[in-house]
Amino acid sequence: MQIGGATIIAGVIGWPIKHSLSPRLHNYWFQKFNRDGVYIPLPVPEGMLSRVLEALPYMGFRGVNVTVPHKRAAFRHVQRHDEAAARMAAVNTILVHGDGSLEGRNTDGWGFIRNLDTQAPQWRRLRQRPVVLIGAGGACRAIAFTLVDQGVRELRIVNRTQARARELAQDIARTSAYEPLAIGWPERHTALEDAGLLVNGTSLGMRGAPPLDLTLDALPGEAVVVDIVYQPLETDLLRQAAARGHPTVDGLGMLLQQAVPGFSWWGGVTPVIDEEARRTMVEGLPL
């Protein structure tokens, strides 16, 4: 690729950012669609975000993705936002408009649902049943808001720190007539009773993190099991679930899907998530 004066510039802001797979994906798409563009990692420490965001329009950026730990703070530094970002008070995608203004979007929940619809469409039938979400951190926020928007009748948020689950449940109740249940850590095994969908939204089970200690005995056989962890692609949770015959969905699909709206903005093409895109990402994962 030849970088020139007209090259479109986009990137991802995070700290640390070294392990992000986003540059790999967006640069693959620029190349695939024959666009003159480049996507770069931007290591921005906490406390420096506002200065970097302010400078983006003057540095020719068409847009950026925002990741840990900046999603909440970035929300406060954009002039406009879409509905999802406004409700979650967090952004993962920023579009730089021609007049220099910044628009924040949140595509995490959208990516989660798109991926679920692609990999396990039967979840839509099962959403009449309780849904169990493990975790109440940043990723779970987007997932929980979106599940309620998608018509889930009973959402059980299980978190080690129950107060944090309660806080998330109350935030959801403020903007949608439903308040999810906040369940404590010791009840996690029995919380699976009657569920149609189980989602691990924590980093437990990731390479280098502690395992997710969860017994699936109470989970009905047809329930779909989703893990947002993608390193390894088949986590212990997914392996256990598959052995019990549950349909399983790994974490890579959400990562791919949430990237689509950003690329359509700076790349001018809406990519389809296919096997080749998945393979490109898998090849970037450390062994």
Q: Give least dist CB 194 to ligand ATR, A.
A: 23
Residue 95: closest CA among 237, 262, 231, 282: 262
Question: If binding is defined by CB under 6 A, does position 186 make contact with ligand ATR?
Answer: no
Question: If binding is defined by CB under 6 A, does position 67 make contact with ligand ATR?
Answer: no
* Catalytic site residue from 70, 71, 77, 141: 71
Quick check: is 32 catalytic? no
Give the CB-nearest residue to ligand ATR. Answer: 137
The residue with tokens 């970097």 is 52
Gap between the Cα atoms of 117 and 226, Å rounded: 12
Q: Give least dist CB 88 to ligand ATR, A.
A: 12
Question: If binding is defined by CB under 6 A, does position 164 make contact with ligand ATR?
Answer: yes
Secondary structure class of 249 (helix, strand, coil): strand
Question: If binding is defined by CB under 6 A, does position 202 make contact with ligand ATR?
Answer: yes
Any alpha helices (H) in 153-199, and if so which ranges?
162-175
Beta carbons of 1 and 261 less than 8 angstroms apart: no
Residue 169: closest CA among 202, 136, 131, 138: 136
Q: Give least dist CB 269 to ligand ATR, A.
A: 29
Binding range to ligand ATR, per CB under 6 A, among 46-54, 156-164, 245-253, 257-265 = 156-164
Helix (H) or strand (E) holding 282: helix 275-284
Q: Contacts with ligand ATR in 100-139 (CB under 6 A)?
A: 135-139
Active site residues: 71
User: Where do contacts with ligand ATR occur on this chain (CB under 6 A)?
Assistant: 68, 135-140, 159-161, 164, 202-204, 210
